[in-house]
Structure 1
Amino acid sequence: MSTSVPGVGPLATKPRPTVKSWLLAARPKTLTAALVPVLVGTGLAFGLGVGRWLPALAALLGAVLIQIGTNFINDYYDFKKGADTHERLGPVRVTQSGLIAPSTVLAGAAVCFALATAVGLYLVMVGGWPIVAIGVASLVCGFAYTGGPFPLGYHGLGDLFVFLFFGLVAVMGTYYVQAGTVDPAAVWAAVPVGASGTMLIVVNNLRDATTDVKAGKRTLVVRFGTGMGKAEYVLLLAVSYATPFAMYALGLASPWVFLALLSLPLSLAPLRLVLKAQGAALNPALGGTARLQLFYGVLFAVGLYLR
């Protein structure tokens, strides 16, 4: 059976991956979900005088590798399970479009996870057994997001996975490998990071609701409707901007933490689309939410660093 590539025609042999196609598979716009937790955890660590650059950089590299590996796994299994078809409304997926052979995409995920494990060995030397638990759980859940016998994303657990692993675990883990402990401020700082990362999943699920139903992908939006998805997005946004006030009130941050509020204007365009648009019209909301996450994260990290 031949594979077709848009604009190229049927191919009799396996497609030859290019740098461009691998970058497409890595989904660069989603990598803010890996970058922001490390920025926030590191900003807080240096603000409290316990920051260490080498563990911070290792945590960043490990997080990015796990994110890319998870994206590859998602690309492969969404195609295999029928969630990614010619009806897809979002950006091109390399497996579904035939740009990279399925087995090659899966091998790419394995390489990313192996490299993340190698980075993790250094972090284990720094942080001890808790890092082993965090690393193993992150790798397993990264695969299980769309793979395995119980894919999390197909059973409405994708939102929880992102909030936990790209929010709580990532921020507190980044802080821990530098400080050797977890300050209460790190727990609070992880909340808006997890919330903003989950907002990306919500937009994705709202856009793909129709095709997800056909593929049997039971996201929260599919289970409870688009109204619930819109309400979830608004709630997560509200939590993100309420957290600086809570941290200041609890004495866990200085007034500089309110720098994060400067990103608020960036929330208006994606919020408007989430509330009014549907289908492919939500693609700009995905990019807008990623930009919001990045700008909020940078400002929040600077605010936690300044004392």
Structure 2
Amino acid sequence: MIQEIIPLTRPRTLAAALGPTILGAAFSYYAFEAPHGTGLAIFHTILIFIAVVSAQIIANLWNEYKDFKSGLDAGQKIGNAGSITRGAVTPELIITMIKILMTIPILIGIYLSATITWYYIPAGFICILISFLYSGGPKPISRTPFGEIASGIAMGFAIVLITGYAWSRELSWTLLIPAIPATLLVGSIMLTNNIRDIRNDESHGRRTLPIVLGRNHAIGLMSTSYLFNFLWIIAWIYVGALPIASLIAILAAIPAFKTIATFYAHTDEFKLDGAMSTTAAAAMLYQLLWSIGLIIGK
């Protein structure tokens, strides 16, 4: 049973939760003071990470459930866990798991709201709403060209700001420096998924971003996004807002452009599945290495 449930959580997408949390904390450590102490800020960061990972798993389970109910999984060769379609896991079990897991971010959210700011409640509600509307509702966001930006805002931009506020207790424009790349990196994970699944999505009437733009333009958009993120760090180092040690994040270009090369070399879904791993690696490596650079440069 466990071996069937784990793929349902889509482990590779969990980098989308870990990266922005670490980056938000590291940037805040570098740029701001922690008025209530570094130890408490780290503790709050760990709680935020647990809440975000739980919410991401819930969103992934919900996405699998909705894809099964809509029939999208029936003709899909790869990309979904397939456990529900094969009957190894029942839809009822998935809903039960979602209900149980929901208690984790709710309880953590209430605690953080009571100890930091009650504004976390509406912020968290909006993120959860986006996550559920991504796959559910009368017009799921995942079937439109706005899936990448919606997931980027909920799982990248918002997480950096929430984590940053837990450290500094202020909402500074400076947090846009890590928040914008985090948004694009989460979006790139979703874009990779949609480029890989373009044939199946199109056959089911979806209008994802790669379908609207066309496959080559979608790959070009991803390349531009990666290039922007690397130039972004260089530009902020040049103006003195970041330590030169942040340049270590440029090493993420290796898996990033391996993803692009994979897309240009293959069109088969099975061969393209490797691009999901390199995209997740690029997102994780970029944010982790940048975080290390910020801590070294403090």
| Alignment partner of 2:20 out of 3, 16, 37 | 37
Q: 1:179 to 1:217 in 2, by over 3 A?
A: same
**In the superposition, relative to structure 1, how do residues 106 and 180 fare at CA in structure 2: closer, same or farther (>3 Å)?**
same
- Structure 1 runs not aligned, ≥5 long: 1-17
TM-score under structure 1 length normalisation: 0.89
- For the Cα contact (< 8 Å) 1:126–1:177, is it kept in 2? no
Distance (Å, rounded) in 2 between the aligned partners of 1:296 and 1:234 = 15
Q: Return the alpha-carbon distance in structure 2 between the equivalents of residues 275 and 185 of structure 1.
A: 36
Structure 1 CA distance for aligned equivalents of residues 209 and 86 of structure 2: 27
Secondary structure of 2:119 counterpart = helix
Task: Decide whether the 8 Å contact of 2:147 with 2:190 is kept in 1.
Answer: yes
Q: Is the 8 A contact 1:69 1:113 kept in 2?
A: yes
Q: Which residue in 2 is equivalent to 1:293? A: 283
CA contact under 8 A between 1:89 and 1:207: conserved in structure 2? no
Task: Provide the alpha-carbon RMSD of the alignment.
Answer: 1.6
TM-score, normalising length from structure 2?
A: 0.92
Contact 2:127 2:155 in 1 (8 A): no
CA–CA separation in structure 1 for the residues paired with 2:5 and 2:294: 35
| Alpha-carbon distance between aligned partners in 2 of 1:236 and 1:130, rounded to the nearest angstrom | 31
| TM-superposition CA deviations, 1:229-283 (whole Å, max 9, x none) | 1122112111221221232234321111111112222223212012232222210
- Residue identity opposite 1:97 in structure 2: R
* CA–CA separation in structure 1 for the residues paired with 2:82 and 2:29: 39
Match of 1:284 in 2: 274
Letter in 2 for 1:264: A
Worse-superposed segment, 268-277 or 115-124? 268-277
Q: Give the match's secondary structure for 2:111.
A: helix
How many residues are treated as equivalent by the alignment? 290
Aligned residue in 2 for 1:146: 135
Partners of 2:292 and 2:171 in 1: how far apart?
A: 19
Q: SS where residue 97 of structure 1 aligns?
A: coil
Task: Say which is worse superposed, 212-221 or 54-63, in terms of deviation.
Answer: 212-221
The residue aligned with 2:91 is 102
Letter in 2 for 1:19: I
Query: Is the CA contact 1:144–1:152 (under 8 Å) kept in the aligned structure 2?
Result: yes
Query: Which whole-Å CA distance do the structure 2 matches of 1:114 and 1:144 have between them?
Result: 19
Tell me if structure 1 keeps the 8 A contact 2:75–2:200: no
Q: Write the distance in 1 (CA, Å) between the matches of 2:95 and 2:141.
A: 18
Residue 236 to residue 97, structure 1, CA distance change in 2 (3 Å)? farther
Relative contact order higher in (CA < 8 Å, ≥ 6 apart): 2
**Structure 2 stretches of 5 or more lacking a match?**
none
**C-alpha contact 2:259 2:279 (8 A) present in aligned 1:** yes
Instruction: Give the AA of the match of 1:174.
Output: T
Q: Which amino acid aligns with 1:56?
A: T
Between the two proteins, what is the percent identity of the paired residues? 22
How far is 1:143 from its partner?
0.9
Which residue in the other structure is 1:272 paired with? 261
Structure 2 partner of 1:236:
225
